Amino acid sequence: MSTLIANCAFAPILCSNAECGMEINKPDKVYHETEVCEYRKVKCHDCGQIQEVVGRTFGRAGEQRRGQSQ
């Protein structure tokens, strides 16, 4: 029976995304891991822009703190 389950096209498998561990059917593996898994890796299109804004914001905050301590 275990051989039948292992060879079944709909056999349950575990999501390979770190920390997920959800059991899914084989045909749903790619969709789950790339589209709906909350632990999937996603490419951030605005990361560079966000990092620039955060850097400027923290830079100004540091300048203000230094100005207050003088």
Distances (CA, A) of 23 to 14, 29, 66: 4, 9, 53
DSSP code at position 62 = H
The 10s digit of each residue's pLDDT in 46-69 is 777 777 877 788 776 666 666 676
Percent of the chain with pLDDT over 70: 77
Confidence of residue 33 (pLDDT cuts 50, 70, 90): very high
At residue 28, φ and ψ (nearest 5 deg) are -95, 0
Does the global pTM surpass 0.85? no
User: Considering the chain, what is the average pLDDT of its residues?
Assistant: 83
